[in-house]
Structure 1
Amino acid sequence: MAKEAVFTMKLEPELRDAFMAEALEADRPASQIMRELMRDYLLRREEEKRGYDEFLRRKIERSRSSIAAGRWSSHEEVEARAAARRAELQRRMDEENS
């Protein structure tokens, strides 16, 4: 693959020196190692995206199955249960503080 782009970055001198020393010790050009790091990063990000897409797909399937089986609550029902729970927690806190 032709290498025609230049990539400049700012970093701490200590980090640069340590990286260059490791590249020298590995007898590899720093640019080659940076290309590998970039490719690895891009592959890892792509895997994360695919993993999230699969997670979301399964979550949607479970939700659709629950709806089809009649296991669902309306927004109003959920809000009413949450309000009752908040009221109960507030009552307990008031009892503890009195």
Structure 2
Amino acid sequence: MLVSEEAPFILTLNPQLRDAFIAEAAAEGLTTSQVAEALVREYLARRRQARDEEVLFQQMIEEGRASMRAGIGIPNEQVEAESAAWCAAILRKA
């Protein structure tokens, strides 16, 4: 049995949006299927990137927590004080 590389996907749109979509795709010389596939690929890439960024962010948080537990980190109070001093210095220059 041969397996098709394509599968039907039904999308329900309001008539005005559907007509505009068809017209824009045609104006670019593309089928609506080509545009829809590109949109799905773009969406999946954005979601994959967001997940990867979330994993990286969580790793950074854990590394920070581990450094604090090891006594290597900078206490929050010190960070706040240095940040306030830095902001004040910038405002004085302005």
TM-score, normalised to structure 2, is 0.69
Could you give the per-residue CA deviations for residues 49-71 of structure 1, whole angstroms, max 9, x where no partner exists? 00000000000000111111187
CA–CA distance in 1 between the matches of 2:68 and 2:15?
56
SS in 2 for 1:54: helix
Could you give the per-residue CA deviations for residues 21-67 of structure 1, whole angstroms, max 9, x where no partner exists? 10111111110111111011101100000000000000000011111
CA–CA distance in 2 between the matches of 1:24 and 1:9?
18
Q: Cα 1:36–1:70, aligned 2, differ >3 Å: closer, same or farther?
A: closer
Q: Say whether residues 1:29 and 2:31 are aligned partners.
A: yes
Which aligned segments of 4 or more residues in structure 1 are displaced greater than 4 angstroms?
none
CA–CA distance in 2 between the matches of 1:25 and 1:70?
60
Query: Radius of gyration: which is bigger?
Result: 1
Map 1:14-93 to 2 at 5 A: 14-69=16-71
Unpaired runs of 5+ residues, structure 2, are 74-94
TM-score, normalised to structure 1, is 0.66
